[in-house]
Amino acid sequence: MKVRIKTRVYIPEYKSDGAAGMDIRALLPRGSCIIFPGQIELIPTGISLELPKGYEAQVRARSGLSTKHGIGIVSGVGTIDSDYRGEIGVPLINWGTEPFTVNDGDRIAQLVVARCEKVEFVVVDELTETERGTGGFGSTGR
């Protein structure tokens, strides 16, 4: 599948053959940005996408940033719709205890492109029974 991209500098890239996500980088004309503990910063990437209809791009946290520095994405996962043409910005949050510096060109998130289906809701009085039923929030064990 071909995805059209408009970029000022950095093109997303897979870092291994088995990678599901492409790394996306910060585009910081001033060179860097400090994110203090508890602070949120919207980090620009300088890229815009044209996805085929029926696809979305998901912006996800990088595991190394989250486990080593407490840096995550505010919304958990961000969705880029196929009709959005604006620049991708990544809202990073510092859940850690130390200030964290993002430098121009740093890999700040992953981008996963996935098919998404449109659904039509059908209102019913009851749903079919399953073994699990209404159990949630850890009801299936640890």
DSSP labels, 5-18 = EEESSPPPB-SSTT
Length of the chain: 142
Cα separation, 14 vs 19, whole angstroms: 6
Q: Are strands 32-35 and 100-103 parallel, antiparallel or unpaired?
A: antiparallel
User: Average pLDDT, stretch 3-27?
Assistant: 93
For residue 126, being part of any structural domain is answered with no
C-alpha 11/C-alpha 29 separation (Å) is: 16
Which CATH number does the domain housing residue 78 bear?
Answer: 2.70.40.10
Whether the per-residue pLDDT at 142 is higher than 80: the answer is: no
Q: List all residues 6 or more positions away from 18 whose beta carbon is below 8 Å from its beta carbon.
A: none
Domain count, the chain: 1
How many CB atoms within 10 Å of residue 129? Answer: 7
Q: Is residue 49 part of a domain?
A: yes
Decide if 34 is inside a domain.
yes
Query: pTM of the entire structure?
Result: 0.86
User: For 115-139, what is each residue's pLDDT tens digit?
Assistant: 999 999 999 999 999 988 887 777 7
Does 65 fall in a domain? Answer: yes
Express each pLDDT in 47-102 by its tens digit.
999 999 999 999 999 999 999 999 999 988 999 999 999 999 999 999 999 999 99
